[in-house]
Amino acid sequence: MKGSYQLLFFLNAASMGLLTPVLSLVLLAHGAEIETLPLFAALFALTIILAELPSGVAADLFGRKCSFLLSHVFQIGGVLLMLKSQGPFLLAASSILRGLGSAFASGSLEALVIDQYKAERGLARINSQILLLESAGMAAGALLGGVLGVWGDGCRVLLCVRLGAEIFLFLLSLACINEERRFMGNESSRGQIFAFGKLMGEIRQSFGTAAVILMAAALVGSAQMVLEVYWQQNFISLVPGNMAWCVGVISSLGFLGVMLGNQFTGVWIARRPRKRGRIYWLFKFLLPGTVLFLGLCRSWLLFAALYILAYVILGAGEISEKVLLHQVTADQCRAGMLSVYSLVIRIGGMVSSVLASFIALWGGLTAVWVLLPAAALVCLLAVYVKSRFVA
């Protein structure tokens, strides 16, 4: 992969990671209240869900470069509105624009790079490189965002850095991304629509490889939600009071775990391509099981070790999943399929969030940590037995 593409993957992930550690503080400083904070987060998530599939199809029809550029236009608009916002209306508009930006970025550059480099470098190696760059970018962005978030009134220094990063990414993408232009209405575009429609029809009507991957992704996404949302509360309740600062360190080590997992498994798959299906299922089952054990853990050291292990497994599972998904996806439908993949993970997480709120009322957080991953394991086993997928 050429250096400019590597820089784009890294900087795009870093830009997204800038707001991750202090997003609640930024929203509260620009018009949100404690009571309305979840509404802005929900609006952002809902926008992504609604735009995921249309944005992916648009990328396949009009071009992945066009979609990636448009994502940064939306992000620039969202950050500008957030800087100007002092009330709920501009902040809501900002959340919508940022959601559109995330949706249009999802899979567009990845699909383009996979198409251009899969023959030269192989699916396992190129996917591993992409995930490594994105994980490193997210880690760097989150660390920098945590520092910049305390500077300036209303986190304005951080928002200005994010704005500058998005403008730079737009200009770099405009100059460096090379792609054959696509136009809707010509024979090629009609062929893309037909191919994508046929693929979606096969997913609905059969229990093929793509459908199995998407169902398993949604189920693992439900367990992943528990890990991402509730780990801090559990860890802080276990760690000694003077060591609460360890949360940031453990979070950074989790990003490093993702990088380690996808690098190790990428090499494993490249050397043992015939075992890619078994490798895939190994990590699909390991993640919910690890999350379940985390919920039962009563030692902060063991909790930290299992948390990092969970992210190693997450990185390993993602690379094996992406390799299989790209193998069964036609080039002309790649961005659309990646959007569907992202969509089902988000849906799995949202369903899990709703269930978690009811379970927590009935049995507390321990019940959430145990029941949701256990349900994911049972459903994964059912999918595995029914599909008999080991390819």
Ranges of H-type helices in the chain = 3-17, 23-29, 37-62, 64-84, 88-105, 108-121, 123-148, 156-176, 187-205, 209-238, 246-271, 276-296, 300-327, 334-387
* Most distant pair of Cα atoms in the chain: their distance: 66
Distance, in Å, from the CA atom of 43 to the CA atom of 350, rounded to the nearest integer, reads: 12
pLDDT given for residue 199 in this prediction:
53
pLDDT of 391 strictly over 60: no
Residue that is written with structure tokens 């399929």 in the block: 337
Q: How does DSSP classify residue 179?
A: -
Q: For 8-14, what is the mean pLDDT?
A: 92
Contacts of 35 (CB under 8 A, 6+ apart): none
More confident residue, 42 or 391: 42
**Coil vs helix vs strand at 184:** coil
What is the gyration radius of the CA atoms in the chain, in angstroms?
Answer: 21
Separation in Å, CA 307 to CA 44, 121, 237: 27, 32, 15
pLDDT given for residue 271 in this prediction:
79
pLDDT digits (tens, 9 = 90+) for 258-274: 888 887 887 788 777 77
pLDDT given for residue 134 in this prediction:
87
Q: For 137-162, what is the mean pLDDT?
A: 81
First CA to last CA across the chain, in angstroms? 28
Is the Cα torsion angle 251, 236, 41, 27 positive or negative in sign?
negative
Separation in Å, CA 10 to CA 129, 168, 326: 11, 13, 21
Q: For 146-166, what is the mean pLDDT?
A: 83
> How far is Cα of residue 330 from the mean position of the Cα atoms in its chain?
22
pLDDT digits (tens, 9 = 90+) for 38-94: 678 778 878 888 888 788 777 877 788 889 999 999 999 999 999 998 888 999 999
pLDDT digits (tens, 9 = 90+) for 325-356: 877 777 666 767 777 788 888 888 878 877 88
pLDDT of 277 strictly over 50: yes
More confident residue, 78 or 201: 78
Distance, in Å, from the CA atom of 169 to the CA atom of 108, rounded to the nearest integer, reads: 14
Question: Long-range CB contacts (< 8 A, 24+ apart) of 76-81?
Answer: 76/163, 76/166, 76/167, 76/170, 79/159, 79/162, 79/163, 79/166, 80/163
Distance, in Å, from the CA atom of 376 to the CA atom of 223, rounded to the nearest integer, reads: 7
Distance, in Å, from the CA atom of 324 to the CA atom of 134, rounded to the nearest integer, reads: 19
pLDDT digits (tens, 9 = 90+) for 176-199: 888 765 544 444 555 555 655 665
Contacts of 86 (CB under 8 A, 6+ apart): 30, 31
Distance, in Å, from the CA atom of 7 to the CA atom of 217, rounded to the nearest integer, reads: 28
Separation in Å, CA 113 to CA 65, 122, 265, 316: 11, 11, 20, 20
Distance, in Å, from the CA atom of 46 to the CA atom of 97, rounded to the nearest integer, reads: 12
pLDDT given for residue 207 in this prediction:
45
The answer to whether residues 160 and 26 touch, using CB atoms and an 8 Å cutoff, is no
Burial status of residue 20 (CB atoms within 10 A of its CB: 0-12, 13-18, 19 or more): middle
Phi, psi of 8 (to 5 degrees): -65, -45
Q: What's the pLDDT band for 390 if we cut at 50, 70, 90? A: very low
pLDDT given for residue 145 in this prediction:
80
Distance, in Å, from the CA atom of 273 to the CA atom of 267, rounded to the nearest integer, reads: 10
Distance, in Å, from the CA atom of 117 to the CA atom of 343, rounded to the nearest integer, reads: 25
Distance, in Å, from the CA atom of 276 to the CA atom of 385, rounded to the nearest integer, reads: 17
pLDDT digits (tens, 9 = 90+) for 288-307: 999 999 988 888 899 999 99
pLDDT digits (tens, 9 = 90+) for 96-131: 999 999 989 877 888 888 878 776 777 777 877 888
Distance, in Å, from the CA atom of 61 to the CA atom of 186, rounded to the nearest integer, reads: 10
